[in-house]
């Protein structure tokens, strides 16, 4: 599949929906799932330092004691939010996490990038949370990766392996796989996180198909000519 065959990215109108949660939180009617959803809104808006348990309680229409019952602390809620983000990213790449990527093929790396776009479109809060976390030094991510190293491997190592295989197969130019993964995911994440400010720089009377644009931009630089 070529870049021009992908549908435009409708970032401005993207709905915020609950996707798959950690196994203990998947029932949408459960109080834990409601807390995780409301907490994602709160951390996306305020970051870890600015977030308040009381506002999460108001967002979810649950009391503070219920939040502490499920997650123990604000740090515990935040950890669950980060874990949920990484588990959903893992599902793009890792077979044991439910990935539907083909086991092999000449466009596997591009398909993975396409699905990363789609995840950020469906859950733009993920980009908000991750950008804030990285700007704050990623200290909570470091703890998560230390305690659950398989999440780091399932995402970052597998993404590098996809790029390496695409280079060997002649699909992509021979750029450094680690830098390629970091650069590409950062572009998509940042563009999503600044979606509310894009109108400052763009003509409001024109449609801006972000997915199509960025796929062309990225792949014209990466695809082997």
pLDDT in tens, 146-204: 999 998 988 889 899 889 988 988 888 899 999 999 999 999 999 999 988 988 998 87
pLDDT of residue 171: 85
pLDDT in tens, 1-56: 333 333 333 333 333 333 344 544 445 568 999 999 999 999 999 999 999 999 99
> Which CATH number does 3-20+82-222 carry?
1.10.357
pLDDT of residue 95: 57
Gap between the Cα atoms of 158 and 97, Å rounded: 12
3-state secondary structure of 140: helix
Tokens standing for 15? 């709905």
Residue 125 CA from chain centroid, whole number? 8
End-to-end Cα, the chain, rounded Å = 16
pLDDT in tens, 75-86: 999 999 999 999
CA distances from 59 to 17, 28, 64, 127 (A): 15, 15, 11, 20
Name the residue ranges covered by the structural domains of the chain: 3-20+82-222
CB atoms within 10 A of CB 73: 11
| pTM of full prediction above 0.95 | no
Tokens standing for 203? 């003509």
**Do residues 48 and 84 touch, judged by C-beta distance below 8 A?**
no
């Amino acid at each position: 599949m070529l870049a021009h065959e992908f549908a435009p990215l409708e970032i401005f109108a993207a709905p915020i929906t609950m996707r798959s949660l950690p196994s203990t939180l998947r029932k949408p009617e459960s109080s834990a799932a409601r807390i995780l959803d409301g907490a994602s809104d709160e951390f996306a808006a305020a970051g870890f330092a600015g977030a308040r348990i009381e506002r999460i309680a108001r967002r979810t229409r649950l009391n503070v004691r219920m939040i502490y019952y499920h997650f123990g602390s604000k740090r515990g809620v935040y950890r669950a939010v980060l874990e949920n983000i990484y588990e959903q990213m893992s599902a793009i790449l890792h077979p044991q996490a439910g990935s539907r990527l083909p086991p092999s093929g000449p466009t596997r790396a591009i398909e993975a990038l396409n699905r990363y776009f789609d995840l950020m479109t469906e859950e733009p809060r993920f980009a908000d949370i991750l950008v804030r976390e990285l700007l704050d030094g990623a200290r909570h991510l470091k703890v998560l990766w230390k305690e659950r190293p398989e999440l780091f491997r399932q995402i970052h190592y597998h993404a590098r392996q996809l790029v390496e295989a695409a280079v060997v197969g002649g699909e992509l130019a021979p750029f450094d796989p680690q830098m390629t993964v970091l650069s590409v995911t950062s572009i998509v994440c940042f563009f999503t996180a600044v979606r509310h400010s894009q109108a400052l720089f763009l003509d409001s009377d024109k449609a801006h198909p972000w997915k199509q644009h960025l796929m062309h931009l990225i792949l014209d630089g990466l695809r082997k000519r």
